[in-house]
Chain A
Amino acid sequence: GENVEQHPSTLSVQEGDSAVIKCTYSDSASNYFPWYKQELGKGPQLIIDIRSNVGEKKDQRIAVTLNKTAKHFSLHITETQPEDSAVYFCAASWLTNAGKSTFGDGTTLTVKP
């Protein structure tokens, strides 16, 4: 089955700095890679996703890159703000069954004002 590794497990940055979270996956058949943000006491919420036919995707301060050959993908958050503080999960799945994802172990991001 799929195995997703995520690093780092914790990340602390100063407000305004950039944050990068990296993930690797094992199953070359995976073709959908979502990123979820989980705030305290809430369920994970999709913030950005990327499909295997794309190398990079950007949405305002958030970007994701994918290297299918190396089987790794990364989340980049620029100009971080305190409200970006949360647990971030990467995941890998198939497009036809996106909810059946294998999740990374999560990264706790703290943005210091």
Chain B
Amino acid sequence: DTAVSQTPKYLVTQMGNDKSIKCEQNLGHDTMYWYKQDSKKFLKIMFSYNNKELIINETVPNRFSPKSPDKAHLNLHINSLELGDSAVYFCASSPRDRGNTEAFFGQGTRLTVV
């Protein structure tokens, strides 16, 4: 069973378009995240979210917005896509239980803006 699943795996789109990436976790975790991995493999957190609190990395443009319909899902919406948004986006989840801290990552969505 897939723990954290993202769709689509690949996304090619034109500049200016609006797109969404979906993420679902079946681990019962309280907190979900979005990370961006650029062409140099650098991993940077974009958002941290549970049902009470959204923490946004201040460097993330407001064209990016997370939307959580329920505890198991955290989708990423991107408006007015730019060339520089091309990257691999990873969704992750973790429990808030101090005794179990592992963060689980999805397989990633490779976004290419042309």
List residues of chain A with CB under 8 Å of any chain B CB. 32, 34, 36, 38, 41-46, 49, 87, 89, 95-103, 105-106, 108
Contact = CB atoms under 8 A, between A and B. Distances in A.
Interface of B: 4, 31-33, 40-45, 48, 55, 90, 92-94, 96, 98, 101-108
Nearest to B31: A99
The 5 A-B residue pairs with the shortest CB-CB distance, nearest first, are: A43-B105, A99-B94, A98-B101, A99-B103, A103-B43
Given A42-B107, A42-B108, A43-B105, A101 B98 contact: no
Contacts of A38: 41
A44 B31 contact: no
Given A96-B96, A97-B96, A49 B45 contact: no
5 contacts: A44-B105, A46-B103, A99-B32, A100-B31, A100-B48
Given A43-B107, A49-B101, A99 B93 contact: yes
Contacts of A101: 45, 103
